[in-house]
Each structure stands twice: as structure tokens, then as C-alpha cells.
Amino acid sequence: MQSQYSGTIILTENLGKSVKTSSGTLHILLEIDLQIYVGESIAIVGESGSGKSTLISLLAGLDTPTTGSIMLAGKSLTKMDEDGRAAIRNQYIGFVFQSFQLLQGLTALENVMLPLELRNDKNARNAATALLERVGLSERLTHTPKQLSGGEQQRVALARAFVTKPAILFADEPTGNLDSKTGATIVDLLFELNTENRTTLILVTHDQSLAMRCQRTIKLSAGKFA
């Protein structure tokens, strides 16, 4: 099914984002032309404040650009409304965040079931259970985030991201809140799942060794490709 998009899954043209502030217009991103191929793994690196998070939020349709266009899986994200983009996210995209972003009131299992439930998938429970077993949390299904350690929470988040078998996975500094040892196991897990699911991976990181594990590295500096 991936061949449908002739190898390209994300294509941006002249992508830019600026915001108006009290001291004039601030250009966060400028003239980004980017082509990402199916199954690629890409690391986005750069100093803090260089625009990494902004870039992936645009690519994932969490925010709208000021200029330029984004094609994702052959569809123009920039021409859709918010609910249209929500449908795209649910269908093609998985997320992992630095601060996990699990729903506090729900159990690990319920958190992982969530994206499937949004699709009205009848098999949600089984699929979620299976994936939690895969990330080594079969004993923690009914625990809430508060009862889990940071590393465990991030594993739940990984399970939640992969449970829909997304075409693209975005990860914004996924190890930023973890110690290096736990971070390393999470990264291993991330790449394992990525290979198993043949997912396109777009990873924001500070960690040079982590960036090295990706096929390609893009460096951002002050909102532009360096």
C-alpha cells in the first residue's frame, strides 16, 4: 500500500511559520522544502528554540503553516480543516512526547485502547493488550499513569503510538525526561517497533548517538535547514 505514494510520504514546499508578537513578526520557520520517503527514519536536531517542535507539529497537522504547503500520504494537509486533519492523524500518525502525555484518569490499557476506540475498532482491547505485552507491561494493564515510573509511562505511550499501526511516527525528544539507561531501552524499543511495523520515523532529539541511529539527519538552525 505504501507504493501508492510513489515512495514519498511527506512533501513540503516553501513551508513557513511566523507569529505576530508585540515587537513585530517573529519567523519561527522559513522556506522549508522537505521530502520524506516511506519507511525512512529521520532525526531532526538543532539547538533549543530552533523550531524543531514547530516543524513536526506542522508536519503532523497539529498546527497550520503561515506559508507553503504540506502533502501527507498524497493528501494536502494545508487544504483541510481541523477535523479533516484529526481524521488524518487518527489514520496515519502516531505520537510520542517528551512528557508522555497519558490521560491520568485512565489505566494503561485504556490509554492504549484510546486511538483504536476513536476508530470504533471492535478489537481495541485485544490489540492494546497484545501491544502492552510486547512492550513488557503485561502485568501493569490496570495501573494508572501515577502508579507507573517514567520509563513505564513512556512504554505505554509507545504502545499507544503503535497500536494503530501508523504509517508515520513522530517522536519529540522521547527520552528527554528519562535517565540514560531507561532512555536507551526506550530507544531500543522504539526502533524495534519501527522495524516491525515498517513505520516512517521522524524523531526530534538532542542526543547525537540517537540521531546516528537514523538514516538521515536534518539540522535546524534559527528556523532554517543548516
Ligand X SMILES: Nc1ncnc2c1ncn2[C@@H]1O[C@H](COP(=O)(O)OP(=O)(O)O)[C@@H](O)[C@H]1O
Closest CA to 202 of 225, 176, 172, 175: 172
Q: Rounded to an integer, what distance in angstroms lies between the CA atom of residue 190 and that of residue 134?
A: 12
194 counts as binding ligand X under rule CB under 6 A: no
Distance CA 206, CA 11 (A): 24
Helix and strand numbers, DSSP H then E, in the chain: 7, 10
Q: Which stretch binds another protein (CB under 8 A): 23-31, 39-47, 111-119, 187-195?
A: 111-119
Q: Is 85 within 8 Å of 93 (Cβ atoms)?
A: no
Nearest distance, CB of residue 102 and another protein, angstroms:
8
174: amino acid identity, one letter: P
By CB under 8 A, the residues from 46 to 65 that bind another protein are: 53, 56-57, 62-63
**Residues 153 to 212 in contact with another protein, rule: CB under 8 A:** 160, 172
Provide the grid cell at 130: 497484545
Q: Which three cell numbers stand for residue 8?
A: 514519498
Kindly tell me which residue out of 10, 28, 167, 203 binds ligand X, with binding defined by CB under 6 A: 28
Q: How far is the CB of 19 from ligand X (least distance, A)?
A: 4
104 binds, options ligand X, another protein, Mg ion, none, Cβ within 5 to 8 A by partner type:
another protein
Give the amino acid at 56.
I
Residue 105 grid cell: 484518569
When asked if residue 19 is in the footprint of ligand X (CB under 6 A), the reply is yes
Of residues 86-105, those binding another protein (CB under 8 A): 86-91, 93, 95, 97, 99, 101-105
| CA-to-CA dists, residue 73 to 14, 25, 58, 122, 124, angstroms | 18, 32, 15, 25, 24
Q: Which of 61, 174 has the CB closer to Mg ion?
A: 174
Query: Is 226 one of the binding residues for ligand X (CB under 6 A)?
Result: no
Is residue 156 within 8 Å of 115, Cβ to Cβ? Answer: no
Tell me if 50 contacts ligand X by CB under 6 A: yes
Tell me which residues touch another protein (CB under 8 A): 53, 56-57, 62-63, 82-83, 86-91, 93, 95, 97, 99, 101-106, 110, 114-115, 117-120, 125, 145-146, 160, 172
